[in-house]
Structure 1
Amino acid sequence: MLDLSCRDWVERQRAGLSLVPDLVLPNSVEGDRAVGIFNKLRLFDVPGTPTMAEAAGDWFRRIVWALFASLDPVTKARLIRELFLLVPKKNNKTTGGALLMLTALLMNERPRAPFLLTGPVHKTADDAFAAAEGAITLDNVLHKKLHVRDHLKTIIHRETGAKLEIMTFDPDIVTGKKVVGALIDEEHILGKMPRAKKAMVQLRGGMMPFPEAFLAIITTQSDEAPAGVFKEDLTKAREIRDGKRSGQMLPVLYEFPGDMQRSEEKLWRDPANWPMVTPNLGRSIALDTLVQAFNDEEANGEAALRTWASQHLNVEIGLALMTDRWAGADFWEAAGEPGLTLEALLERSEVCVVGIDGGGLDDLLGLCVMGRERGTRRWLTWHHAWAHKIVLERRKEIAPRLLDFEAAGELSLVEKPGMDVKEVADVVCQVRDAGLLPEKHGIGVDGAGIGDIVDELTAPERGFAVGADGQIVAISQGWRLNGAIKTTERKLAGGDMVHGSLLLMNFCVGNAKIEDKGNAVSITKQVSGKAKIDPLMATFDAAYLMALNPAAMVIGEDYELTTT
């Protein structure tokens, strides 16, 4: 299989070089021919209607060349079956994609071959069609060779009968389609659609009968944490680029290295670094325009700036920040310790408490195990959540994210009510059996809707007790949780609280909205709306108990903590 990795991508970006690796492909003649056609196409909405030879950068021409040069002249099989191009807005993304598909239509030799270009919203599809139609109108040869059906947004090759359909993405239409070539614009939006993954699987399957078929994905970064099919394709592209896996996808990702995005200096904010991720700079976009837009959004606050940066600099958003966000959200990401497992937490802790928060069938059941680290006395936290599968239907807008959390092992989907409660109780027993749970007030639960949890924990085989002398205590919510909320904020800001950098918790923390209650603040599910915050509320329940400075159960006069 062709090696499509580009391990030196950072050095290439800094030097302004193509991110298409140096490939030996079987059909350079076909690649040159494709570039020749692409170069002659004109931009209808730019003064002087320049050709792509004048308006496009070599970075995009190299992509065109590689895609078509990979077509084996003997077997007629394309060695590069997919393209994943991650590039910020205003870098000739939609126009370049439309003219790439027009080039494919002109290069095609298969009679009546179907091609598809789809965008997530009407405007994207309209812009793509306008770019293709405009290029045809400005070229007398193309005007005679291609028949444009405006009302259907379809372009038909008069000689081969091949057609290019341009439409808004619809899972019902895309599912079952058989195409020789397809382009998906702005896939990051599809990642939020619950049925998009299935539609993409079907689309890829529909290409299998055609050895020359290709799928091009051209997208910006998501304005929220990547999710669904977009997250899957983005991960695949990164792994192929970095040489961690093989595949027939050509990865071209204009993004900052992880250390530049996560550094305390926030190096991505420096305009001197922006040419790394804006390959069409000086053509379709100017640096001073970007700087002005950056300054405008920075004045609107961190949330607005992050959203702008995701679209114009491909900065990946890990945690959404709203104007009415919880103050601890600003420090959450920096407090992460990736890979912090429950077993590691138990090993490092001198005492642990547990917070539990749950609701109805369309809510999450959130669990937080919080340990006080030996020596440092930092608070270590481990989280998990459970959900009934019915939530995927009742909360379709977040279903792709929940499935991502399940795939990451951070959330468990259960078939029947009660399965989740038993698994929560199993974890609580694991903490107790490690000798780390306080004799009293070690399990904090939401005071409402806790009947099933209490019933399971107080069952004879579990052996926990409720009440003043018991280990299970109801934690009052609303403004009464103000102390725990403020304490958690201070611990995070001071570096005295650590978590496992879960995508689940980034989601929950980003969803939390505050409501002022006199001198107190309140975070409730009602204020946060349909978005889920249950595991975060479980964290506050645990913080309430940990703030009481508990001690682990004493086994004899001198006891030793052990873990299972």
Structure 2
Amino acid sequence: MADFSCPDWFEKLKAGRSPLPDNMPLDQDEARLAVEAFNKLRLPDVPGKPLLRDVAGEWARDFVAAIFGLVEMNDDRTVVIDRKARKFFQLVPKKNSKTTNGAAIMMTAMLRNRRPNAEFLLVGPTQATAERAYEQAEGMVKADPWLRKRFHLREHIKTIEDRTNGAKLRIRSFDNKVMTGAKPVGVLVDELHELGKISYAAKVMTQIEGGIIANAEGFVIIITTQSDEPPCGVFKDELKLARSIRDGEFEDAETLPMLYEFPAEMQADENQPWADPTNWHLVLPNLGKSITVERLSPKYREAKEAGDDKMSIWGSQHLNIEVGIATNRDRWAGVTYWQAAHRKGLTLDRLIEDCDVCVVGIDGGGLDDLMAIAVIGRHKITRTWLHWARAWAHKDVFERRKEIVSRLEDFIAQGDLIRCDAIDQDVTEIADICERLHAAGKLPEKAGIGLDAYGIASLLDALDERGMAGDLVMSVGQGWKLQSAITTLPRKLKDKTMQHCGQDLMKWAVGNAKSELRGSNYIVTKQAAGASKIDPLMATFNAAILMFLNPEASSFNADDWIASYA
């Protein structure tokens, strides 16, 4: 394994170079021969069917050189005995010859292959996606008389077979059976961002990566654009890994990242410097070839006119802008400052230790909704508000809201969402958290636990059973009665007098919220009915209402309380 970090990646983009590390341990002969094979392929869907040598960008050749050059050969150079990288992750915007280059790479693999009866696979989120890459590869064979002699096109089963050694390039659908009986030499996975929305995607990717291990020269190539929704599932995991390798945070990796994107601070800048057409060349490696600024500009102007939500989607697909928090015009004002208010290292344990008083907000709906708790503590010294949240989901949510299952499973893996196995699990565990805060003497004597005026009878009963009823529980009015929290929290986030744990659960909930003016008051509702959950944010508003009362921790003796309760 090698060091594939590239700390100067953005400087390279500004210089028009590929964002790949210098001095990669390439076998120069293998890299050169692969690039020569790649260059001799023809574009099948362009007038004149030009050679890739004449129309492909240097960035594409750099990627080819890395894929085929990061190998170790035997002494007589007839067999690959090991690989220095087994996975290659390329993030590139739409219209940059992504699918065509992917097909050409797999045809290059067929041409450079030494293994008899080797199998190469084209995998996509749908059959149609995989077929597009296959059709490009098939077209490259048809466009060249020599390739037509070497390869047998079995079009009815979407397979290209090498007559010299029996190797095959074929398509596979992305499902749990994709690797059944397969030990491929190479796999191209197209549009991973779409696969991130599939609940079983991580399992299938594990199968794919496990399947190639049988062959010393085995490799997986992932070529994808950014997601048009906040990254989730396997796409989020692979993107995070690629970035950490690129930034030098992950050593001895077997993945080589090639990411065409703007730095995070440039993407988050509220002035949107990424939207300036003079910056687009930084992330469009095929500019002037398959795409031009002039062809992109009309759709950009349409998206800008349609509003921030459309702009966000357009930016994700054409400039690889990550959709993190909603940018719609009617978003809750706190969205803009939420990410910057992250306090690293903050946990519930740390919050309890550092704060003199804590309050709890609770929000929950039906069984197909989330139940959520938010804790806001006041720092003993700085008086800064510190925030932590958790949510619970019953199986009804997973059955009725399938479009968000992958996202929910991410939150479960992070420990911020609990899947309920019993009907009263959420109520019991929320009461446990409240009891912990009470025993630590962090709750005020009055108005320490706030919940919807309608409340949840079972939760009230659970709190009462633990001696936490009466004045300690406060009914918090909803709708316009939350206006003080809705309008004040954005100011506290902006000046960082409120900070949070940086939980993806909250980032998602905050991004799902929109603000509406009703009469003379603002209320917060969901962006879309059903799937757009905001319960953790509503629980936060409930807690904020209690903290506005400037509470003081009770002089309650935890040992005496525990003894009497026992």
Same fold (TM over 0.5): yes
Give 1:291 shift: 4.2
The 3 A distance-change label for structure 1 pair 157 and 313 is: same
1:531 aligns with 2:536: no
Residue of structure 2 equivalent to 1:505: 506
The 3 A distance-change label for structure 1 pair 175 and 89 is: farther
Question: 2:172–2:178: 8 Å Cα contact kept in structure 1?
Answer: no
1:284 to 287, 290, 293: 290
Give 1:117 shift: 0.9
1:213 aligns with 2:218: yes
- Which structure 2 residues correspond to residues 117-516 of structure 1 after superposition, within 5 A? 117-174=122-179, 177-243=182-248, 244-322=250-328, 325-347=331-353, 349-373=355-379, 378-388=384-394, 391-448=397-454, 450-459=456-465, 462-466=466-470, 470-478=471-479, 480-489=481-490, 491-492=492-493, 496-513=497-514
Distance between the aligned counterparts of 1:259 and 1:486, measured in 2? Answer: 26
SS at structure 1 position matched to 2:73: coil
Give 1:323 shift: 5.5
The range that moved more, 271-280 or 514-523, is 514-523
- Which structure 2 residues correspond to residues 79-94 of structure 1 after superposition, within 5 A? 79-94=84-99
Structure 2 letter corresponding to 1:240: I
Deviations 1:198-236 (A, max 9, x none): 111111122121111110000111112211111111122
Residue of structure 1 equivalent to 2:60: 60
Give 1:422 shift: 3.4
Question: 1:228–1:400: 8 Å Cα contact kept in structure 2?
Answer: yes
SS at structure 1 position matched to 2:214: coil
Structure 1 letter corresponding to 2:40: K
Distance between the aligned counterparts of 1:339 and 1:269, measured in 2? Answer: 33
SS at structure 2 position matched to 1:76: strand
Deviations 1:289-320 (A, max 9, x none): 34444333222222211221112221222113
Question: 1:176–1:202: 8 Å Cα contact kept in structure 2?
Answer: no
1:547 aligns with 2:548: yes
Give 1:351 shift: 3.6
Residue of structure 1 equivalent to 2:36: 36
Deviations 1:500-553 (A, max 9, x none): 322111111222345665554554579631332221121121123233443433
Residue of structure 1 equivalent to 2:561: none
Question: 1:176–1:203: 8 Å Cα contact kept in structure 2?
Answer: no
Give 1:247 shift: 1.8
Q: Which runs of 5+ in 2 are unaligned?
A: 75-79, 558-566
Distance between the aligned counterparts of 2:348 and 2:308, measured in 1? Answer: 33
Q: How many residue pairs end up in the alignment?
A: 551
The range that moved more, 311-320 or 186-195, is 311-320
Give 1:443 shift: 0.6
Deviations 1:154-174 (A, max 9, x none): 222222222211355334435
Question: 1:482–1:520: 8 Å Cα contact kept in structure 2?
Answer: yes
SS at structure 2 position matched to 1:406: helix
Query: Identity of aligned pairs, percent?
Result: 50
TM-score (norm 1): 0.89
Question: 1:176–1:206: 8 Å Cα contact kept in structure 2?
Answer: no
Give 1:91 shift: 1.5
The range that moved more, 415-424 or 97-106, is 415-424
Question: 1:86–1:220: 8 Å Cα contact kept in structure 2?
Answer: yes
SS at structure 1 position matched to 2:215: coil
Structure 1 letter corresponding to 2:364: G
Question: 1:81–1:214: 8 Å Cα contact kept in structure 2?
Answer: yes
Structure 2 letter corresponding to 1:87: V
1:109 to 98, 101, 114: 114
Distance between the aligned counterparts of 1:170 and 1:324, measured in 2? Answer: 38
The range that moved more, 545-554 or 229-238, is 545-554
Distance between the aligned counterparts of 1:13 and 1:448, measured in 2? Answer: 55
Question: 1:355–1:444: 8 Å Cα contact kept in structure 2?
Answer: yes
Structure 2 letter corresponding to 1:183: L
SS at structure 2 position matched to 1:77: strand
Give 1:254 shift: 1.4
SS at structure 2 position matched to 1:422: helix
Distance between the aligned counterparts of 1:555 and 1:396, measured in 2? Answer: 46
Structure 1 letter corresponding to 2:304: E
Question: 2:4–2:24: 8 Å Cα contact kept in structure 1?
Answer: no
Q: Which runs of 5+ in 1 are unaligned?
A: 557-564
SS at structure 2 position matched to 1:430: helix
Moved over 6 A (4+): none
TM-score (norm 2): 0.88
Question: 1:370–1:381: 8 Å Cα contact kept in structure 2?
Answer: yes
The range that moved more, 342-351 or 60-69, is 342-351
Distance between the aligned counterparts of 2:358 and 2:25, measured in 1? Answer: 59
Question: 1:26–1:73: 8 Å Cα contact kept in structure 2?
Answer: no
SS at structure 2 position matched to 1:16: coil
Question: 2:10–2:19: 8 Å Cα contact kept in structure 1?
Answer: no
The range that moved more, 116-125 or 301-310, is 116-125
Structure 1 letter corresponding to 2:505: L
Residue of structure 1 equivalent to 2:77: none
The 3 A distance-change label for structure 1 pair 449 and 545 is: closer
The range that moved more, 85-94 or 7-16, is 7-16
